[in-house]
């Protein structure tokens, strides 16, 4: 027997319809790229998104076409996403921090037909466009008054472009499994691969993100997504906020400590999400300039491991709850969040921080397991590492054009490429990327754990650990350090600092000091480059053995 419930396709546009109907006046505030603050609401955003849909159709964009965006978080970028998906086209976010050739490669792979770009990236677009023949139209996200001279033929200012539509238009409807968005992995561990979200996966992802033990947003929140829409599906916030009826505060192009502090306080932001580097900049700013965060209640921190000092400072000094989260572009992107179960109630001090260092437990609709290389389950004892595998309705089942097929198995599990352990309460902790973990004498050493400990030293600004070939142990750790400005830590001092925090065989065989550690476009340590840089480096222990 079939259930007798309605067919109601899970389309992204239904989320905006909900917000415009039940939270019409809720604010969307943006720091515009042109400078001034801009204020609108869900009702007006929906009206403009319909114009975007209508206007795109007039440009010949249809179901399945890829429409690229190269833009900061502003109301215009946000309404473009809805305008694009409103006719079954696919928003394709481009990361402007990638090398121009890599952006061109990605655009060609996706065969983007139209591009929305912010003013900031116009010179970049001028440089790459001749290499991307599929792009027919470029819309510059500004008005006629701010439109600069450009060598791009047919580039038009956005406000004039949508001004030509009257908005008398209805969203198109189609199967909920239709593609809605596309985002390429940032290529930290290889060539970028295309991830294709569906309407259904985006809507379900927002519902899973909405759970109280996940992001738990409400109509009373004012949300500042510092994580750009071009990172990992913008952490789903473009759908989660309207679903909750939460106000959106968009930071535009400015993500330095002073700007983040200003927008947090003037806009009375209650909830924010960003990678650890952004929070480090804010906390350093506050330490230097002073200031409080009276409205901010919660921050979600993910993208790379959150240093303990960030959690501790937010919670103990500023009274802001930190939710450490893990996810991936391939997972829409949320995978787990570290909220406290009753098993951990009452913990304080270091014991609480030990739990908060973990990436947490998965919300409903994310299945998770750890296995050995032969796909056998590993015990959940909080220490045995394994390959982290996931499954769920907002997890990729393939990459675009079949790339990386080896990461998907016949039972539907996706091998994340991360190495992690799980504890008896179902809390996961990332210990490494499979490609970075150091295999020493048949045992594994976690580079992330070593790095996090090393940055706890007061003179260490940034730390990276890589495995170098070793004649006896196969691989041994080398610790690479960027000292804090004005500090000159000694090797022996750092080794002594680490010595009572880790087992002896985890101790780095050597430490080198550098001016800079290479980073990827998403701000992660680029281990591939670092390993290349130190390929011929001789560990002192290699000669001894």
Residue 146 or 435 having the CB closest to ligand ADP: 435
Is 159 an annotated catalytic residue?
Answer: no
Rounded least distance, CB 495 to ligand ADP, Å: 25
Beta bridge partners of 390: 368, 414
Q: Which of residues 330-389 bind ligand ADP (CB under 6 A)?
A: 359
Q: Are residues 285 and 258 in contact, defined by beta-carbon separation less than 8 angstroms?
A: yes
In what helix (H) or strand (E) does residue 430 lie, and over which residues does it extend? strand 428-433
Asked about 330 being catalytic, the answer comes back as yes
Q: How far is CA 540 from the centre of its chain?
A: 38
**Interface with ligand ADP by CB under 6 A: which range of 5-13, 77-85, 410-418, 451-459?**
410-418
**Out of 263, 310, 328, 465, the residue judged to bind ligand ADP by CB under 6 A:** 328
Please state the closest distance from residue 283 (CB atom) to ligand ADP, in A.
17
Structure tokens belonging to residue 199: 């309407």
Contact 401, 109 (CB under 8 A): yes
Q: Which stretch binds ligand ADP (CB under 6 A): 197-205, 326-334, 453-461, 496-504?
A: 326-334
Q: Is 185 a catalytic residue?
A: yes
Is the peptide bond between 115 and the residue preceding it cis, with omega within 30 degrees of 0?
no
Q: Which residue in the list 40, 185, 311, 313 is annotated as catalytic?
A: 185
> Helices (DSSP H) in 290-441: which residue ranges?
308-312, 318, 349-356
Size of the site for ligand ADP (CB under 6 A): 23
Stretch touching ligand ADP by CB under 6 A, among 30-38, 73-81, 155-163, 414-422: 414-422
Helices (H), ranges, 398-508: 447-454, 491-499
Among 142, 206, 416, 447, binds ligand ADP (CB under 6 A): 416
What count of Cα atoms within 13 Å lies in the side-chain half-sphere of residue 146? 16
Out of 38, 435, 484, 524, point to the residue binding ligand ADP (CB under 6 A).
Answer: 524
Q: Name the residue with tokens 């209508």.
A: 54
Q: How far is the CB of 152 from ligand ADP (least distance, A)?
A: 29
Q: Could you give the C-alpha distances from 191 to 79, 184, 185, 404, 462, in angstroms and in order?
A: 30, 9, 8, 10, 26
How big is the chain, counted in residues? 545
Q: Rounded to whole angstroms, how far apart are CA atoms 403 and 97? A: 23
Mark 511-541 as b/e (b = at least 16 C-beta within 10 Å): beeeeebbbbbbebbbbbebbebbeeeebee
> Considering only residues 292-321, where is the footprint of ligand ADP by CB under 6 A?
302-305
Q: Is 187 in the site for ligand ADP (CB under 6 A)?
A: yes
At CA 383, angle to CA 382 and CA 384, rounded to 5?
A: 115
210 vs 416 by CB, closer to ligand ADP: 416
Q: Out of 41, 54, 137, 188, name the contact with ligand ADP by CB under 6 A.
A: 188
Phi-psi region of 290 (alpha: psi -120 to 50; beta: other; left: phi over 0): left
- Which among 383, 401, 439, 472 is annotated as catalytic? 439
Q: Binding to ligand ADP by residue 404, rule CB under 6 A?
A: no
Indicate which residue of 330, 449, 451, 475 is catalytic: 330
72 binds ligand ADP (CB under 6 A): no
Q: Which of 430, 460, 517, 539 binds ligand ADP (CB under 6 A)?
A: 430
Whether 126 is catalytic is: no
**522 near ligand ADP, rule: CB under 6 A:** yes
Sketch the per residue contact string, 117 through 146, with ligand ADP: x for CB under 6 A, - otherwise.
------------------------------
**How remote is the C-alpha of 367 from its chain's centroid?**
20
The pairing of strands 66-70 and 90-93 is parallel
**Cα distance between residue 12 and residue 82, in whole Å:** 7
Q: Which of 150, 444, 484, 524 is catalytic?
A: 444
Complex with ligand ADP: residue 45 or 238, whichever CB lies closer: 238
Q: Which of residues 166-185 bind ligand ADP (CB under 6 A)?
A: 185
The residues binding ligand ADP (CB under 6 A) are: 185-188, 232, 302-305, 324-329, 359, 416-418, 430, 433, 522, 524
């Amino acid at each position: 027997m079939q259930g007798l419930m309605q067919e109601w396709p899970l389309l992204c546009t239904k989320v905006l319809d909900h917000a415009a109907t039940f939270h019409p006046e809720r604010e969307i505030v943006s720091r515009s790229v042109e400078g001034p603050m801009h204020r609108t609401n869900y009702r007006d955003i929906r009206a403009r998104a319909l114009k975007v849909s209508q206007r795109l159709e007039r440009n010949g964009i249809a179901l399945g076409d890829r429409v690229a965006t190269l833009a900061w978080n502003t109301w215009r970028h946000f309404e473009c996403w809805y305008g694009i998906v409103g006719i079954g086209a696919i928003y394709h976010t481009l990361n402007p921090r990638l090398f121009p050739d890599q952006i061109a490669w990605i655009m060609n792979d996706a065969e983007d037909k139209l591009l929305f770009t912010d003013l900031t990236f116009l010179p970049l677009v001028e440089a790459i466009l001749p290499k991307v023949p599929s792009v027919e139209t470029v819309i510059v996200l500004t008005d006629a008054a701010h439109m600069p001279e450009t060598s791009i033929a047919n580039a038009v200012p956005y406000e004039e472009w949508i001004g030509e539509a009257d908005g008398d238009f209805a969203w198109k409807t189609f199967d909920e499994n239709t593609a809605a968005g596309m985002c390429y992995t940032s290529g930290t561990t290889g060539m970028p691969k295309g991830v294709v979200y569906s309407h259904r996966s985006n809507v379900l992802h927002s519902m899973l993100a909405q759970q109280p033990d996940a992001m738990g947003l409400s109509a009373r929140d004012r949300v500042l997504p510092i994580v750009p829409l071009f990172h990992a599906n913008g952490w789903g916030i473009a759908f989660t906020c309207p679903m909750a009826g939460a106000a959106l505060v968009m930071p535009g192009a400015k993500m330095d400590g002073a700007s983040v502090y200003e927008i947090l306080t003037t806009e009375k932001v209650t909830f924010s999400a960003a990678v650890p580097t952004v929070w480090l900049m804010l906390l350093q700013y506050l330490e230097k300039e002073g200031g409080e965060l009276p409205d901010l209640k919660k921050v979600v921190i993910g993208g790379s491991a959150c240093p303990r000092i960030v959690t501790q400072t937010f919670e103990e000094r500023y009274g802001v709850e930190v939710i450490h989260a893990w996810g991936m572009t391939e997972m829409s992107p949320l995978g787990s969040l570290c909220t406290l179960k009753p098993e951990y109630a009452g913990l304080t001090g270091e014991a609480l921080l030990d739990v908060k260092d973990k990436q947490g437990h998965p919300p409903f609709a994310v299945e998770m397991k750890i296995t050995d290389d032969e796909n056998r389950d590993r015990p959940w004892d909080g220490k045995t590492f394994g390959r982290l595998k996931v499954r769920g309705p907002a997890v990729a089942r393939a990459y675009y054009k079949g790339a990386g097929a080896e990461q998907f198995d016949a039972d539907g599990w996706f091998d994340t490429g991360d190495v992690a352990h799980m504890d008896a309460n179902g809390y996961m902790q990332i210990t490494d990327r499979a490609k970075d973990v150091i295999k020493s004498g048949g045992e594994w050493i976690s580079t992330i754990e070593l790095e996090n400990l090393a940055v706890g030293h007061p003179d260490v600004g940034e730390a990276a650990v890589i495995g170098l070939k070793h004649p006896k142990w196969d691989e041994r750790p080398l610790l690479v350090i960027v000292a804090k400005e004005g500090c000159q830590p000694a090797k022996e001092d750092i080794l002594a600092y680490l010595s009572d925090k880790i087992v002896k065989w985890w101790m780095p065989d050597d430490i080198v000091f550098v001016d800079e550690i290479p980073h990827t476009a998403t701000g992660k340590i680029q281990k591939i480059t670092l390993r290349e840089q130190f390929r011929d480096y001789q560990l002192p222990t290699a000669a001894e053995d």
